[in-house]
């Protein structure tokens, strides 16, 4: 290794999910700080058929490797210090009823054993929330873990200038993948309960499919949002963020909504307890309780003073607890620590 200055190599599997976004944003932010940070993308089959993908040697310039714990151990370098981040909560027992037997078996018999090997190999394990740490200790293995919340670019995600007119419906926004884990099956019951005077814009697209047949007329599909600018624009044109997700590793989109000044109405559970402060930056509701969600939304719509206070609190919390700068500083110190501590133990990883 060439000294102890962090030069970060990200071997990563292209999955088309939020973990790709995390890796791209982190690498870009590190480069802005003057560090060398490059991503090597592996095809998706590297996750489920790793033997079909060649193992790559780390770049000569790299002083540390940063991997997602879903990266198969075959691709985790042996002669570099390794930082591994756990992003998810898929092993949360509360999710089992929403997986289906095939996905549940894949997580239990393929992903979990591979993750345990990566966790034991890693020189430092980072988790994106305390909830993820607690879940991982119960379902994977008990190793030291450091919480670093995912960062939000608060210079991009910021409040807009929307002023709701009295004649307008109270506008809600849902941004997320169309899955049971995200609680999308609750959106229609919530909006049906709310009725006139409320509308929901949601990211459904083709994934929503036949679910649209049972939706009330106050739900409007805005399709997949192409990039951060589109997400920001949608958030700045809403009055509150609706997020009935059943389990979140971190809930980045909720933190982004808060940065845009939106009170968040979310499920009281998983990592959302760490992101949304009930009564201060939003309102938390019992899981699967559509009437409770509707009641919380009506409260926000009827009390503009409370809504403004929550909006201000949400922005302040996003900037203080979830800013990208804070996350970058934490990762930088982690990289320096693992590089400094790597050396005599290298042979143990062979």
Q: For residue 336, is it within any domain?
A: yes
> How much is the pTM?
0.91
Residue 45 belongs to domain spanning: 7-151+324-343
User: Which pLDDT tens digit goes with each residue over 63-98?
Assistant: 999 999 999 999 999 999 999 999 998 999 988 888
Is the residue at 161 inside a domain? no
User: In total, how many domains does the chain have?
Assistant: 2
Distance separating alpha carbons of residues 174 and 124, to the nearest angstrom: 34
CATH classification of the domain holding 145: 3.40.50.2000
Whether 206 is covered by a domain: the verdict is yes
Contacts (Cβ under 8 Å, ≥6 apart) of 103: none
Q: What average pLDDT does the segment 310-335 reach?
A: 96
Q: What is the 3-state composition of the chain as percent helix, strand, coil, each rounded to the nearest 5?
A: 45, 15, 40
- Residue 164 pLDDT level (bands cut at 50, 70, 90): confident
Question: Distance between CA 18 and CA 86 in Å, rounded?
Answer: 12
Q: Is residue 139 part of a domain?
A: yes
- Bin 268: left if φ > 0, else alpha if -120 < ψ < 50, else beta: beta
Whether 1 is in a domain gets the answer: no
Q: Is residue 314 one of the residues assigned to a domain?
A: yes
Per-residue pLDDT at 343? 62
The answer to whether residues 202 and 234 belong to one domain is: yes
Adjacent-strand bridge partners of 200: 172, 219
Q: Both 331 and 306 in a single domain?
A: no
Q: What is the pLDDT of residue 345?
A: 47
Say yes or no: 17 and 38 in one domain: yes
CA–CA distance, 345 with 91 (Å, rounded to integer): 31
């Amino acid at each position: 290794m060439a000294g102890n200055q962090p030069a970060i190599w990200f071997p990563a599997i292209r999955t088309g999910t939020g973990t790709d976004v995390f890796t791209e944003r982190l690498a870009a932010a590190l480069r802005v700080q003057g560090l060398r940070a490059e991503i090597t993308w592996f095809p998706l089959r590297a996750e489920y058929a790793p033997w079909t993908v060649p193992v790559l040697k780390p770049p000569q310039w790299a002083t540390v490797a940063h991997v997602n714990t879903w990266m198969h151990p075959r691709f985790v370098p042996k002669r570099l210090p390794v930082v591994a981040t756990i992003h998810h909560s898929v092993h949360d027992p509360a999710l089992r009823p929403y997986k289906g037997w095939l996905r549940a078996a894949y997580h239990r018999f393929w992903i979990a054993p591979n993750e345990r090997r990566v966790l034991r190999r890693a020189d430092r394990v980072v988790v994106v929330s305390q909830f993820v740490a607690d879940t991982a200790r119960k379902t994977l293995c008990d190793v030291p873990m450091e919480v670093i919340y995912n960062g939000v670019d608060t210079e991009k995600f910021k409040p807009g200038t929307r002023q709701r007119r009295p004649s307008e419906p109270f506008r809600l926004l849902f941004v997320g993948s169309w899955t049971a884990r995200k609680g999308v099956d609750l959106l229609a019951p919530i909006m049906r309960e709310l009725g006139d005077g409320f509308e929901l814009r949601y990211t459904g697209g083709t994934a929503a499919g036949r679910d649209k047949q049972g939706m009330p007329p106050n739900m409007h599909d805005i399709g997949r949002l192409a990039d951060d600018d589109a997400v920001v624009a949608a958030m700045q044109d809403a009055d509150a963020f609706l997020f009935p997700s059943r389990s979140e590793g971190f809930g980045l989109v909720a933190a982004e909504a808060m940065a845009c000044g939106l009170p968040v109405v979310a499920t009281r559970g998983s990592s959302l307890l760490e992101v949304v402060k009930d009564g201060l930056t939003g309102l938390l509701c019992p899981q699967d309780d559509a009437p409770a969600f509707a009641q919380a939304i009506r409260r926000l719509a009827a009390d503009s003073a409370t809504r403004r206070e929550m909006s201000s609190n949400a922005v302040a919390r996003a900037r203080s607890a979830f800013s990208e700068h804070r996350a970058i500083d934490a990762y930088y110190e982690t990289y320096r620590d693992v590089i400094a501590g790597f050396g005599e133990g290298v042979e143990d990883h062979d």
